[in-house]
Structure formats: C-alpha cells, structure tokens
Amino acid sequence: MSGNWDITDAPQMTRTPMWIFHGAKDKVYPAAAAHAMADSIKNHGGNVRYTELPDMGNDCASPLLYEKETWKWLFSQKKPG
C-alpha cells in the first residue's frame, strides 16, 4: 500500500498473489513506480492486481483500502499445495 518498490525484485515476487493499492496523489512515492512494479510482476508470471485510488495520497490508514472486496480477496487466497 503506497510503498516504495525496487523493480529488480519483481521476479522474486511472483509466487504470492498481490493486490497493490496506491494513492494517485502520493507525493512520497509516485504511483507510477507501483504501477510499473505491478506490470513487471505480471510480465514475470505473477498474480497481481493493481488499484490506484484517485483521491488518496500516502495514507495506509485510509478506509478506502479496507473495503469488503479487499477482505474477500485476501481471505480467498490459498497457500499452494
């Protein structure tokens, strides 16, 4: 959530499903970097979703991140056999 990413880590981030959230108004870490990371993880075969929240900055405490859909997705994930 609104984090700083090192794109070179993308190949190692493919085994765990991810849903990346980033605030479009984040002045600490640009949303473009998180979007590029999501694309890179996908390109390396990872299972990743990317959601950019247009009215959010760098605010991990925002209720926008904790919608019913988020929890449903999170608890639907299963550890591989």
Give the distance between the most distant pair of CA atoms in the chain.
Answer: 40
25 vs 78: CA distance, rounded Å: 33
pLDDT tens for each residue of 69-81: 989 999 999 877 6
Determine which helix (DSSP H) or strand (DSSP E) holds 74, and give its type and residue range: helix 68-76
12-25 residue pLDDT tens:
999 889 999 888 99
Query: Containing domain of residue 38, as a range?
Result: 19-58
Domain contains 54 = yes
Q: Is the pTM of this model over 0.85?
A: no
List of E strands, the chain? 18-23, 48-53
| Position 8 in a domain | no
Looking at the 3D structure of the chain, how many domains does it have? 1
Name the pLDDT band for 47 (thresholds 50, 70, 90).
very high
Only one residue has tokens 């959230």, namely 21
